């Protein structure tokens, strides 16, 4: 498979203010237009790694971050993600994030979707409506909400809210989509819908997913990275790592000997 890299990270180290070291020397390449899965037990550093990629760690009590992370943008430019003078609001539009608990803003469905675009300065009603339409279809939510776009988003069910959160990120037409345990609160049917839409989305976006189970990881992964206690233990294509892991710890985790 001819894969060019979307994100390249080198020697990432992150330490929180309370002294806990969250990432110890992570070097990982994320290929474009694929689903890369970061899996492993809790506290492994997976969420921390995600939050470095859209600089959301700026909002937390981080003592120190070092290393290099580069985004290979669709426009051809190379963005140094950790650069202090980087325009982070622009980065966050290119690298979207979906969190574990669906958090809808206290507004209508439509306003939730146009919020990011309006913050970026978009005023054209047609473009905003087009974004609402497109993102809801991409998130497999259009049919369920097309008649009530101006209703409060909080009235939706949990699964619908989470798909709305996915649509909210997609409305900005990002290049990368980060998903941190997006289906952990969802029933199996909603989970299935989300996983199915990710398979379609990867054709146009690069997806990095932290799954809530090893099974989900195995279902979704084109590439998978095993994180343990802040270290990257093993990284390989999905087909290989879940059937023939090369490192003992990876095998132990996948087979449920610890977790």
Partner 1 sequence: MKPKHSPARRNRTQRLGFFFLRLVAIVAVIPIIAIIAYIVYKGAPALSWEFITGFPSDGMRSGGIWPAIVGTFFLTMLCALIVAPFGIGAAVYLSEYAPDNRWTQSIRIAIINLAGIPSVVYGLFGLGLFVIFLNLGISILAGSLTLAIMTLPVIITTTEEALRAVPQSFRVVSRSVGATQWQTVRRIVLPQALPGIMTGVILGLERAAGETAPILFTAAVFFLPGLPSSVLDPTMALPYHLYVISTQVPGMSPEIQYGTALVLLIFVLGMNLVATIIRSRARARRQW
Strands laid side by side in the 21-31 sheet: 21-31, 5-16, 62-72, 78-80
> Which residue bears the tokens 């952990």?
184
Examine residue 46 and tell whether it contacts partner 1 (CB under 8 A): no
Examine residue 59 and tell whether it contacts partner 1 (CB under 8 A): yes
Site mask, partner 1, residues 4-43, x = CB under 8 A?
----------------------------------------
Examine residue 120 and tell whether it contacts partner 1 (CB under 8 A): yes
d(CA 142, CA 211): 25
Q: Which stretch binds partner 1 (CB under 8 A): 2-10, 16-24, 161-169, 244-252?
A: 161-169
Which one among 115, 137, 192, 249 touches partner 1, defined by CB under 8 A? 115
Which one among 62, 105, 247, 251 touches partner 1, defined by CB under 8 A? 105
Spatial contact of 28 and 44, defined as CB atoms under 8 Å apart: no
Q: Which of 116, 159 has the CB closer to partner 1? A: 116
Strands (E), 113-230: 176-180, 206-210, 223-228
How far apart are CB 96 and partner 1 at their closest, in Å?
7
DSSP 151: S
Residue 204's nearest CA partner among 34, 77, 31 is 34
Q: Who contacts 116 (Cβ-Cβ below 8 Å, separation ≥6)? A: 93, 168, 169, 171, 172
Residues making contact with partner 1 (CB under 8 A): 54, 56, 59, 89-90, 92-93, 96-97, 99, 101, 103, 105-107, 115-116, 119-120, 152-154, 165, 168-169, 172
């Amino acid at each position: 498979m001819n894969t060019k890299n979307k994100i390249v990270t080198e020697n990432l180290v992150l330490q929180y203010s309370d002294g806990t070291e969250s990432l110890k020397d992570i070097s990982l390449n994320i290929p474009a237009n694929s689903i890369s899965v970061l899996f492993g037990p809790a506290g492994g550093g997976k969420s921390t790694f995600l939050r470095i990629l859209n600089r959301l760690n700026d909002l937390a009590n981080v003592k120190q971050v070092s290393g290099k992370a580069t985004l290979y943008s669709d426009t051809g430019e190379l963005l140094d993600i950790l650069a202090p003078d980087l325009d982070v609001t622009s980065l966050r539009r290119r690298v979207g994030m979906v969190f574990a608990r669906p958090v809808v803003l206290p507004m209508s469905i439509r306003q939730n979707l146009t919020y990011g675009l309006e913050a970026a300065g978009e005023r054209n009603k047609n473009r905003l409506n087009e974004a609402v339409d497109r993102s809801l279809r991409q998130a497999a939510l259009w049919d369920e909400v097309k008649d009530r776009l101006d209703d409060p988003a909080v009235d939706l069910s949990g699964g619908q809210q989470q798909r709305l959160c996915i649509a909210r990120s997609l409305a900005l037409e990002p290049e990368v989509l980060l998903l941190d345990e997006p289906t952990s609160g969802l029933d199996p049917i909603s989970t299935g819908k989300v996983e199915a839409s990710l398979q379609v989305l990867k054709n146009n976006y690069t997806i990095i997913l932290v799954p809530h189970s090893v099974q989900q990881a195995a279902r979704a992964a084109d590439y998978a990275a095993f994180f343990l206690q802040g270290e990257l233990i093993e990284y390989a294509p999905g087909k290989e790592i879940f059937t023939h892991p090369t490192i003992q710890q990876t095998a132990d985790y996948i087979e449920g000997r610890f977790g």
